[in-house]
Amino acid sequence: MAMPGAFKLPSMPVVTRDLTASIVVFLVAMPLCMGIAVASGVPPEKGLITGIIGGIVVGMLAGSPLQVSGPAAGLAVVVFELVRDQGLSALGPILILAGLIQVVAGIARLGGWFRAISPAVVHGMLAGIGVLIVVGQFHVLFDAKPLPSGLQNLAAAPGRLLGLSVDTIAAAELAFAIGMLTIIAMLGWEKLRPASMKLVPGALVGVLAGTFAALAFGLDVARVNVPQSIASAVTLPGTEVFAKWMDPAIITAALAIAFIASAETLLSAAAVDRMHDGVRTDYNKELRAQGVGNLLCGLAGALPMTGVIVRSSANVQAGATTRMSTIFHGIWILGFVALLPWLLREIPMAALGAILVVTGWRLVSLSHARHLLSHYGPLPALIWLATLVTVVAADLLTGVLVGIGLSMLELVPHLRRLGLNVSEGQFAGAHAINLSGSATFVSLPKLSDTLERAPAGQAVRLDVTDLSTVDHTCAELIKDWFQRRRAAGDAVELFGARGKTAALAH
């Protein structure tokens, strides 16, 4: 008898769909794994190792069946600063400790609390990271290294462009041309590709265009440097790991990575759940799996990992149905870097920088800020903007703390009635849920558990007549739940909605 939650081999038709999807995810993941490593200030193979561990190990343990884990742009800025200030040798001990923190958090069933972080804070954080990636990787387009801070990179960007010359074509001009070709090919393919090839990722087309151009014209530009053997890129931590854990800076960095990686992973998992009608995410199990993955990345001297929405959405769109797709994609990365490292060494660094410029730009989602402003008023939009600006001007952790601090302002008018009361039962053949009190981010885990308990395939009656307030974090949760239930064909009715709550079901 199989143990509950044990990994089961799927049927052959399912394996075929997962196999096909895994190839698509592999093609998306390869350039991003290397590009994010470069943006993090570490060798490209460090990102590939994280992709392998995220695919094979986390894929087998995951609580989110269709989410794909690997190095994430969201942590590139953090790692860059850590490596700059603490050295590459400190990354292993930090990730081991961060992984242990995530495992303990998952065992303590804290996964649901990470979802209580305001979407305005998370998207503001990602937007700030996007700005930092764009202004940092902009310099890589010229075969130059990013400067130590985001503001310095931003200030130096005009000088890079003004320094180009059409009269003397040198390394900077050639690299910039390769970068521009990569961006044009990537965006052009995504806009004009035929329907029959919609699963071929634009990032792959962009990298191939830049690489073939550099080879065809014999251009002398900086290229990716990966070792002959991926095993030689694994650097086990020494005996100093325990001594480093006594350093407050190392502990702070581990806590920051554990917090940010967990929040990004679980919010990504929630987004992936909205894309399919299959098994829902077990957030605590996913948190434990991510912890094991980051612990192993620390032992291997690789990059930290999170669940990544770009790869995960490609996985769903390609027709994946089980965790086998994620596992297969990790196997493809391992096989490719083991058998064809010479091919990776032909990729221009400017091409990878170009892919990260586009990736970073897409993280700066102004549409989300407009959505917050139009649906929930100026305060959530202000939280988004303040988080973004602080991330760019100061650092990531400060930005997140500022955003969370401003989120507390939403609680001020409701301090005397913060409790959320829930009652469930049957009413006219439907599963009835009655909410009263205040639905704020502090009660989000309770609200989420209540909504997810509603039986699948049965009509649901949600009564919010006695709900005095709904903040934007809970409003987004309820709206996503409504959309998912209705997409699955379930009858869902909302009663007692007024004011802002009237828009929840739309």
Question: Which tokens hold the place of 451?
Answer: 């909504």
Are the C-beta atoms of residues 144 and 160 closer than 8 Å to each other? yes
Helix or strand or coil: residue 463? Answer: strand
Are the C-beta atoms of residues 456 and 476 closer than 8 Å to each other? no
- Segment 206-212 shows an average pLDDT of 96
- Segment 422-440 shows an average pLDDT of 90
Give the residue among 200, 179, 465, 489 at the shortest CA–CA distance from 347. 179
φ/ψ region of 355 (left if φ > 0, alpha if ψ in -120 to 50, else beta) reads alpha
Q: How many CB atoms lie within 10 A of CB 280?
A: 16
Question: Which tokens hold the place of 59?
Answer: 């894929």
In this predicted structure, the answer to whether residue 505 has a pLDDT above a threshold of 60 is no
pLDDT of residue 355: 94
d(CA 40, CA 82): 9
Percent of the chain scoring above 70 in pLDDT? 94
Question: Bigger pLDDT: 82 or 239?
Answer: 82
pLDDT band of residue 317 (cuts 50, 70, 90) is confident
- Give the angle subtended at the CA of 408 by the CAs of 403 and 409, to the nearest 5°: 100
d(CA 150, CA 136): 7
- Given the structure tokens 């992709």, which residue do they identify? 51
Q: How far is CA 257 from CA 74, 305, 339, in A?
A: 10, 9, 32
Question: Which tokens hold the place of 216?
Answer: 């065809």
In this predicted structure, the answer to whether residue 306 has a pLDDT above a threshold of 80 is yes
Interacting residues of 436 by C-beta distance below 8 A, sequence separation 6+: 420, 421, 465, 466, 467, 468
Domain extents in the chain: 13-344, 366-413, 418-503
pLDDT of residue 502: 55
165-193 pLDDT, tens digit each: 776 677 899 999 999 999 999 999 999 99
Buried b (16+ CB within 10 A) or exposed e, 220-237: ebbbbebeeebeebebeb
Helix or strand or coil: residue 439? Answer: strand
Residue 223 DSSP one-character state:
B
CATH architecture of the domain formed by 418-503: 2-Layer Sandwich (3.30)
Give the residue among 427, 360, 405, 325 at the shortest CA–CA distance from 65. 325
pLDDT of residue 504: 60
pLDDT band of residue 414 (cuts 50, 70, 90) is low
Query: Is the pTM value of this prediction over 0.95?
Result: no
What is the spatial order of strands in the sheet that 420-427 belongs to? Answer: 420-427, 430-439, 460-470, 492-495
pLDDT of residue 25: 92
CA 118: distance to chain centroid? 16
258-291 pLDDT, tens digit each: 998 998 898 888 878 877 878 888 999 999 999 9
Helix or strand or coil: residue 433? Answer: strand
- Segment 396-421 shows an average pLDDT of 84
Question: Which tokens hold the place of 118?
Answer: 């305001």
H/E run at residue 492: strand 492-495
d(CA 243, CA 450): 45
Average pLDDT, the chain: 88
Give the residue among 197, 308, 233 at the shortest CA–CA distance from 48. 233
- Segment 196-200 shows an average pLDDT of 87
Strand-pairing partners, residue 223, are 348
| Lowest mean pLDDT segment, chosen from 38-47, 79-88, 142-151 | 142-151
Are the C-beta atoms of residues 110 and 72 closer than 8 Å to each other? no
Strand-pairing partners, residue 306, are 70
pLDDT of residue 344: 93
363-385 pLDDT, tens digit each: 898 998 999 999 888 999 999 99
465-483 pLDDT, tens digit each: 888 888 888 888 888 888 8
Question: Bigger pLDDT: 442 or 348?
Answer: 348
Interacting residues of 374 by C-beta distance below 8 A, sequence separation 6+: none
pLDDT band of residue 1 (cuts 50, 70, 90) is very low
pLDDT of residue 173: 93
pLDDT band of residue 5 (cuts 50, 70, 90) is very low
Give the residue among 415, 418, 454, 416 at the shortest CA–CA distance from 434. 454
Strands 420-427 and 430-439: antiparallel
- Write the single-letter amino acid at 239: T
- Segment 327-333 shows an average pLDDT of 96
